[in-house]
Amino acid sequence: MDDPSASPKQATKGDVIVGLRIQALRKSRGLSQTALGVAIGVTFQQVQKYENGTNRVGAGRLSDIARVLGAPVSAFFDEGDDAAAQEKTEVFDFLHAPGAVDLLNAFITIEDDQLRREVLAIVRSAARMEYDQGA
């Protein structure tokens, strides 16, 4: 996991993961870095540093972030090597693809089940076309 010899103030791989998850959850909630910063009492630049893993997020601040984003603090961490933790990591990885959060936010606003299925079919078709062209 993290290097135990690393300086306590030096950001680690774990800090980067926490930052990426903060960013994914913030975007999924439609919040700007400025809005999150105001809600937790820091500047948007500090939120950027948290999200980039440049600065470590303290326990109290992470608790504030979790409260604002409506998520448990555990959502920001890997929870062991079990299948659920792996699945959560993969979901967060998918959310980092450009446009993924926007696509999901738009998709969930579609109330008609049939229309949702049709949109999903279009996206899957486009993905197959892209894959076929690359093969």
Render pLDDT for 96-126 as a digit per residue (tens, 0 to 9).
778 887 888 888 889 999 999 999 899 889 8
In angstroms, the CA 64 to CA 32 distance is: 16
Q: Which domains does the chain have, with CATH numbers?
A: 1-79 (1.10.260.40)
* 6-20, 78-92, 99-113: range with lowest mean pLDDT: 78-92
Q: What does the CA dihedral 90, 22, 18, 34 come to, rounded to 10 degrees?
A: 150
